[in-house]
Amino acid sequence: MGGASVEFDRIVKRFGNRTVLSNVSGVVRPGAVVVVTGPNGSGKSTLLNILSGCLRPSSGRVRYLDAGQEIERASWFERLGMAAPDMAVYDELTALENLHFFARVRGVDIDDRRLGDLLDGLGLAARDQRRAVGTYSSGMKQRVKLAQAVVHEPGVLLLDEPSSNLDEAGHQATAALVARFRAQGAVAVATNDPREVAWGDAQIQLGV
């Protein structure tokens, strides 16, 4: 199957004298959801940050591929989307302004209607989309973070605790988002939520 994928082999990550990841290998391939589980501190978020290219491993190799051909790390960012609890959105901007900004960073220009449809699909009502994000609840901000991760239709989607701070409706919207991107690309989810674990076609368990 064509499409973007990530292969990682014997990844080790140390912070000072502490080893967080030790010889972790796997692949995030098109048409599948890989779920990364493990106790707090086992390195779930660290692994996703390494796969995104935001963090370098202490040793081991990460390969980025498109249709089976290895691509340069710099080109990888055009194909990647990521959402994580510690990612920032701009409080002084509205949700629509945030998405315009993140889309343009990715080299994409999208009109308000399409951005509004994306936010609406994640449960952010039209009346709220033009309010400053600084006035939002944590759950509303999480919806904006998920939207910015997919605004450019990435080939690989990395999600760290995607349903955090979301109600049941938000969880269902996130599940639908994951299903859509599974159908068109590759998805990795770091979580201990049993509902999110159930999305997985494969599982990497850390800290065992």
| pLDDT per position as a tens digit, 154-166 | 999 999 999 999 9
CATH architecture of 4-90+138-205: 3-Layer(aba) Sandwich (3.40)
In eight-state DSSP terms, residue 132 is: B
Q: pTM for this structure?
A: 0.94
Sequence ranges of the domains in the chain: 4-90+138-205
Q: How confident is the model at residue 3 (pLDDT cuts 50, 70, 90)?
A: confident
Residue with tokens 């850390």: 206
Report the distance separating Cα 95 and Cα 79, nearest Å: 22
- pLDDT at residue 208 above 70? no
Average confidence score pLDDT of the chain:
93
For residues 69 and 2, what is the distance between their CA atoms, to the nearest angstrom? 10
CA distance 197 to 193: 6
DSSP-assigned letters across all residues of 133-155: GGGS-HHHHHHHHHHHHHTT--S
Whether the pLDDT of residue 1 is over 50: the answer is: no
Reported as a single tens digit per residue, the pLDDT across 68-122 is 889 887 778 888 999 998 899 999 999 999 999 999 988 888 999 999 999 999 9
Q: Name residue 44's amino acid.
A: K
pLDDT of residue 2: 58
